[in-house]
Amino acid sequence: MSFQSREKKRRYNRAVKKSKREHAAETAGRWFLTFARKTASCAYCGIGLAAKGEIVYRHRPREIRCVRCAGRLEDSRGYRPSLRWERARRG
């Protein structure tokens, strides 16, 4: 691998890391449809959510909702599928 190829790769990686840093706070406040890693309960209705079941999740401030409540409530209505959820559905 030539010096120029390595330099190009370094520049690309720097740009990706900078972009992630700039958008981290914005992304943390979004709602995502994903799978629960362990059992939990909905923050709104209190229903139990099983491990590996579908949940709607926001990282900051941290909150978990069931899909039914997330679709009903205004602030979480615009949730989007996470990359992990999409990969699981494809394969």
Mean pLDDT, each 10-residue run in order, the chain (91 residues): 94 95 90 96 96 95 96 94 91 72
CA terminus-to-terminus distance, the chain: 34
Range of the domain at 45: 31-91
Looking at the chain, which runs of residues are DSSP E strands? 32-35, 40-41, 48-49, 54-58, 63-65, 80-81
Q: Are residues 86 and 43 part of one domain?
A: yes
Q: Are residues 64 and 47 part of one domain?
A: yes
Question: Given this model, what pLDDT does residue 91 score?
Answer: 72
Q: Are residues 20 and 43 part of one domain?
A: no
Q: Are residues 15 and 4 part of one domain?
A: yes
Q: Are residues 44 and 19 part of one domain?
A: no
Gap between the Cα atoms of 33 and 37, Å rounded: 13
- Distance of alpha carbon 79 from its chain centroid, rounded? 10
Q: Are residues 70 and 41 part of one domain?
A: yes
